[in-house]
Amino acid sequence: MKYQSTRGNSPLIGFQDALMTGLARDGGLFLPADIPDVRAALAAWQKLSYAELSFEVMRLFSDLLEPDLRALIAQGLTAFRHPEITPVVPLGNLHVLELFHGPTLAFKDVALQFLGRLFEYKLDRAGGRMNVLAATSGDTGSAAIHGIRGRRHMRVFVLYPHGRISPVQERQMTTVMDANVFALAVRGSFDDCQEIVKELFGDLPFRDRCALGAVNSINWARILSQVVYYFYAAFRVMERTGKPRVRFAVPTGNFGDAFAGYLAWRMGLPISRLLLATNENDILARFFNTGIYRRGRLCHTLSPSMDIQIASNFERYLFYRAGEDPQRLRAWMAQFQATGELQPKGGLTGKPDPFFAAGSADAAACLAAIRDCYSAHGYLLDPHSAVGWYVAQSFLDPEEPMICLATAHPAKFSEAIRQATGRDLAHHEILDALTGLPERRTVLPASAPAVREFMQTKIGGGD
């Protein structure tokens, strides 16, 4: 499989090169040159374990030797505490896909436990070093740090908005003492962090000198790892219910997870609808309901990993909306950059995409969802998953079972649980064990030069 940039000005490259490059040099994101049709394989795939299914999905997109790919998948999955990796739990009239059984208790572990090992594998063979740079609103950073800590040939620099992530999320990053880990608290918003990362990746001499690598969901391998659990969950629910099609409700921030679902559908998985659930930062919900993509003001919510106005992966979807025409996409992105607004015309646009539905939940709805789900089922949803669960209630259909993605363990957001239920119900021994441990972090201003300078001093002149 070869990879193309959404902006069309980069040569086609292989999987391992796309993996190491992150953002394409023309500013675009990598996509496979074509999407394999797997409908003929679905019946056989239904019988596979999570590890076997991962292998079958990923081998279609990767250029690794097959035994190596198999081994890397197996090693990544050892970090998960559940034998099914991503179990699907029936809950009333819907199903919850639990994606939080990895080391940092959020779905991002699924991709990052694999990605860290994949980088190490590649660097073992190609030589050299890599400096991973990522922006996080909480969960990506800890998952990246736990995927890369102690791995050979790599450092990881994580930018997060100072004072705007939960104390427990911060501790998941700052208590990691491995010498190759740097937690950087930036005085600004998550979008500022994301902008700094973009700017440094756009500084090509710096990028080359430091061998910058990306782990946020612009990295194609992350999307690919997430495609697997859509297949896995759909199979479990189709078995359980005997229905031929399913729906998914996806709490959305950067549109990475949602794009993985879109891809699974394009590959032939019978998903009838993908429901995008946003919090008050509802740019994506507004787009799918009105056709206008307009930047709004960022607000801070109970679901901070979805506090995003500019969804970086949305460009991948727009590429298909543009009829896979990079020139049209470039014009759209330039328009959005200049005006903060985009109403895509031409390509496949003009009507809404019937595959997606969208809704949003504000703080009151999110808290009510946590409370209602707990009182009806004794099941605690974290605030991100609760946004999905809330929006899902308006799209239930007995013929098309609904699978709600549970993207984080409630204990990561115990304050919201307390607010919703009035009780201190959400705990996890992994998080409790972090309290009182020594912490290490550096506070920096929201400026790309400051971050660049910090990185240069840590990286030094050598490797």
Q: Which of 217, 281, 301, 360 touches ligand PLP (CB under 6 A)? A: 217
Closest contact distance (angstroms) between CB of 69 and ligand PLP is: 23
Closest CA relative to residue 265, chosen from 279, 251, 284, 250: 250
139 binds ligand PLP (CB under 6 A): yes
With CB under 6 A as the contact rule, which of the stretches 73-81, 249-257, 322-330, 391-399 interacts with ligand PLP? 249-257
Q: If binding means CB under 6 A, how many residues of this protein chain bind ligand PLP? A: 17
Closest contact distance (angstroms) between CB of 106 and ligand PLP is: 4
Closest contact distance (angstroms) between CB of 460 and ligand PLP is: 32
Closest contact distance (angstroms) between CB of 408 and ligand PLP is: 3
With CB under 6 A as the contact rule, which of the stretches 13-21, 164-172, 250-258, 293-301 interacts with ligand PLP? 250-258
Residue 147 in tokens: 């995927």
Rounded Cα gap, residues 329 and 181, in angstroms? 36
* Residues 262-321 contacting ligand PLP, CB under 6 A: 305-306
Q: Where are the beta strands (DSSP E) in 341-415?
A: 341-342, 356-360, 402-406
Nearer to ligand PLP, 170 or 257 (CB): 257
Q: Which of 102, 213, 256, 344 touches ligand PLP (CB under 6 A)? A: 256
251 binds ligand PLP (CB under 6 A): yes
Task: Give how far Cα 190 sits from Cα of 14, 253, 438, Å.
Answer: 31, 12, 25
Rounded Cα gap, residues 149 and 121, in angstroms? 15
* Residues 148-207 contacting ligand PLP, CB under 6 A: none
Q: Which of 384, 392, 416, 455 touches ligand PLP (CB under 6 A)? A: 384
Nearer to ligand PLP, 121 or 389 (CB): 389
Residue pair 3/33 in contact (Cβ under 8 Å)? The answer is yes
Q: Which of 2, 47, 108, 345 is catalytic?
A: 108
Residue pair 106/143 in contact (Cβ under 8 Å)? The answer is yes
Q: Which of 169, 252, 309, 360 touches ligand PLP (CB under 6 A)? A: 252
Calculate the CA 18 to chain-centre distance: 17
Residue 414 in tokens: 């115990």
Task: Give how far Cα 58 sits from Cα of 125, 221, 269, 323, 456, Å.
Answer: 20, 9, 15, 25, 35
219 binds ligand PLP (CB under 6 A): no
Q: How many helices (H) and strands (E) does the chain have?
A: 19, 15
Nearer to ligand PLP, 326 or 359 (CB): 359
| Residue labelled with tokens 């990295």 | 219
Rounded Cα gap, residues 452 and 326, in angstroms? 31
Rounded Cα gap, residues 368 and 89, in angstroms? 21
Closest contact distance (angstroms) between CB of 252 and ligand PLP is: 4
Rounded Cα gap, residues 240 and 351, in angstroms? 35
- DSSP SS3 for 253: coil
* Residue 458: active-site member: no
Q: How many other CB atoms are there within 10 angstroms of residue 65's CB atom?
A: 9
Binding string, 78-107, against ligand PLP, x = CB under 6 A? ----------------------------x-
Nearer to ligand PLP, 13 or 283 (CB): 283
Contacting residues toward ligand PLP, per CB under 6 A: 106, 108, 139, 217, 251-258, 305-306, 384, 407-408
Task: Please identify every residue annotated as catalytic.
Answer: 108
